[in-house]
């Protein structure tokens, strides 16, 4: 048994066991088998007052089903153990940070997280958008539904990707779409990363249906648009490590990390991170490291990151952007110029970590790769994130979330059998990829503490996607595995209720499992929840409005409401650190 396996793991609910298994895998990779073991634990709801300790119930109660289901019109479960995987990474982060703090002079810490806290963290940008006040008293909404997945004339489902509006226009022109029509599709296509919906003009879908796969691929290749065929396979490429770590060349005597000062200091207090990252993956990593106590300095282009203007905007900044970047200091620098690069080198000379998610080859072009920055600071943990690493060869597709889902097998694994495979428009690999990058940084800091040398760590969206456990064939879901309508909302049966369908039917007064749904429609959600709880079949209400989370007393300790400083709700830090009392 791994030295990081917590007691009681065999009797824990299945989702908690999955989270612990993921945590153990990452801790084994981070530490090996040291004599000093961090103390950590994972449970179901944690500080959230809900009757949920299984993957799908937590997805339902915390809003994950709601966001994932936006594109198809109703809350729907992610068929693979995504929340459990996220929670396992959080557990590993807490344990690693606690041990790092211990080696920097802090008393031993025990850390704890939960499935509900993991679920809430994945919703950070969506929760912010749902609760933001634009100054008129109106709350932001995401109107319209639709997946971005397209179908070719030969019935192949495809996902396309580009970040360039000119490439988008050229691709659709090649397929015979007028420029004005193609232009109407650009905004919802780009906004899908934040809205989880993609209501494309029907003319675009019709244009792809008029061409076979090879013609669509040729149009993509001609204009720099990635085109990926979506298959039924749920497997990820074999042999993918969550991250790689390589030591920097030795330079001078080893130097200790700065000590943690203050009994209440967070584990990474006193450490500085320089972040040059855009969109979600890189900023999530910096966000997590900041929540653990590090000072984070963002490097943005002159005038600021363009994502600051992404709607909805409150207080002069995009709330989706702010949700992942608030609390970070900002330095503006044009990295295409010598003074801009010198600004980065100066920041790095006084930093512990530099992280980026630049396109492949950009670090070398800018002369800001690991070798160049280790020459400035030999003790630097240099962290790079990408879409695919080297797994798909020297010319990988555009490295974004939805293509990583396709190539990582999640486009099929996250959809149940009987539904066409398609990526979730919730940014599942972007968030998970950012969390894995943060864990790689923690592993690098721990290695530096032991050796006095810096290192280079690298991870990818694809390597993060490979962490998610999934069956060899797509999972089949029964009627009880989906949200069930009540008189005033939706209810999701808990694990016990789904495991005992006859008992569930008897409790609600149905003649059989096929008529459970009919009976549930006769009473309110709260009435049924009370009756099912009394019968030993605890279940949850399905969250259909994220704005309600900030006002729900059950989430008071896990969700921070809007305030004068940040006009939107956001998840609290997902770890609880307490001093050990052995």
pLDDT mean for each 10 residues of the chain (582 residues) = 50 84 92 71 90 92 96 94 97 94 85 96 96 59 74 96 96 97 95 93 96 97 96 88 91 62 79 94 97 96 90 89 95 94 95 94 93 94 93 85 95 94 96 97 93 93 94 88 96 93 93 90 95 95 94 94 91 92 63
Phi-psi label, residue 458: left if phi above 0, alpha if psi -120 to 50, beta otherwise: beta
The reported pLDDT for the residue numbered 138 is 42
CA-based torsion, 6, 243, 356, 423: positive or negative:
negative
If you compute the radius of gyration of the chain from its CA atoms, what whole number of angstroms results? 24
The reported pLDDT for the residue numbered 22 is 94
CA distances from 402 to 78, 189, 279, 397, 412 (A): 15, 12, 13, 11, 12
The reported pLDDT for the residue numbered 106 is 81
Phi-psi label, residue 113: left if phi above 0, alpha if psi -120 to 50, beta otherwise: beta
Short-list 437, 436, 438, 459, CA closest to 387: 459
Cα–Cα–Cα angle for 567, 570, 576, rounded to 5 degrees? 140
Active-site residue identified among 81, 430, 488, 526? 430
The reported pLDDT for the residue numbered 140 is 47
Cα–Cα–Cα angle for 468, 560, 281, rounded to 5 degrees? 35
Phi, psi of 437, deg, nearest 5: -60, -40
> Is residue 552 among the annotated active site residues?
no
CA distances from 167 to 52, 163, 164, 220, 222 (A): 46, 8, 5, 9, 9
Short-list 26, 79, 155, 123, CA closest to 459: 26
In this prediction the pTM is 0.94
CA distances from 375 to 140, 248, 258 (A): 47, 10, 21
Separation CA 48–CA 406 (nearest Å): 33
């Amino acid at each position: 048994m791994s030295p990081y396996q917590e007691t009681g793991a065999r009797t824990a609910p299945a989702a908690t066991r999955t989270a612990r298994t993921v945590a153990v895998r990452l801790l084994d990779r981070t530490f090996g088998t040291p004599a000093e073991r961090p103390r950590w634990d994972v449970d179901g709801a944690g500080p959230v007052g809900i009757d949920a300790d299984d993957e799908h119930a937590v997805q339902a109660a915390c809003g994950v089903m709601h966001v994932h289901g936006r594109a198809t019109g109703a809350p729907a479960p992610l068929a693979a153990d995504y929340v459990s995987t996220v929670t396992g990474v959080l557990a590993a982060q807490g344990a690693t940070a606690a041990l790092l703090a211990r080696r920097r002079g802090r008393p031993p810490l025990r850390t704890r997280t939960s499935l509900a806290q993991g679920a809430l963290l994945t919703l950070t940008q969506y929760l912010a958008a749902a609760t933001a006040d634009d100054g008129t008293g109106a709350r932001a909404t995401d109107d319209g539904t639709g997946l971005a997945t397209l179908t070719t004339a030969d019935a192949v489902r495809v996902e396309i990707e580009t970040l360039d509006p000119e490439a988008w226009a050229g691709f659709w022109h090649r397929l015979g779409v007028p420029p004005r029509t193609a232009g109407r599709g650009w905004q919802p296509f780009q906004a899908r990363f934040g809205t989880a919906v993609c209501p494309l003009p029907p003319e675009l879908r019709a244009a792809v249906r008029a061409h076979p796969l090879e013609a669509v691929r040729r149009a993509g290749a001609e204009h720099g648009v990635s085109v990926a065929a979506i298959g039924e396979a749920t497997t990820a490429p074999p042999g993918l490590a969550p991250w790689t770590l390589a030591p920097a060349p030795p330079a001078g005597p080893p130097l200790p990390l700065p000590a943690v000062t203050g009994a209440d200091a967070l584990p990474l207090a006193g450490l500085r991170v320089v972040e040059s990252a855009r969109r979600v993956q890189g900023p999530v990593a910096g966000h997590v490291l900041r929540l653990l106590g590090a000072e984070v300095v963002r490097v943005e282009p002159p005038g600021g990151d363009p994502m600051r203007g992404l709607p909805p905007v409150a207080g002069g900044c995009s709330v989706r952007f702010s949700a992942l970047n608030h609390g970070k200091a900002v330095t503006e620098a044009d990295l295409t110029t010598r003074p801009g690069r010198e600004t980065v080198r100066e920041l790095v000379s006084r930093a512990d970590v530099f992280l980026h998610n630049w396109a492949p080859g950009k670090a070398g072009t800018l002369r800001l790769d690991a070798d160049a920055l280790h020459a400035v600071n030999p003790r630097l943990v240099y962290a790079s994130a990408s879409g695919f690493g080297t797994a798909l060869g020297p010319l990988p597709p555009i490295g974004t979330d939805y293509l990583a889902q396709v190539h990582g097998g999640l486009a099929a694994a996250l959809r149940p059998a009987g539904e066409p495979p398609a990526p979730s428009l919730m940014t599942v690999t972007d968030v998970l990829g950012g969390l894995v990058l943060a864990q790689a940084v923690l592993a690098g800091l721990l290695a530096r503490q032991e050796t006095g040398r810096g290192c280079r760590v690298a991870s990818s969206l694809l390597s993060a996607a490979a962490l998610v456990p999934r069956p060899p064939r797509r999972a089949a879901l029964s009627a009880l595995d989906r949200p069930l309508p009540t008189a005033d909302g939706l209810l999701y049966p808990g694990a016990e209720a789904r495991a005992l369908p006859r008992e569930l039917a008897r409790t609600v007064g149905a003649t059989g499992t096929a008529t459970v749904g009919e009976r549930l429609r006769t009473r309110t959600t709260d009435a049924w929840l009370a009756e099912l709880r009394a019968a030993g079949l605890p279940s949850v209400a399905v969250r259909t409005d994220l704005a309600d989370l900030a006002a729900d007393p059950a989430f008071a300790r896990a969700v921070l409401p809007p305030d004068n400083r940040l006009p939107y709700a956001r998840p609290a830090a997902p770890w609880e650190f307490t001093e050990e009392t052995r």
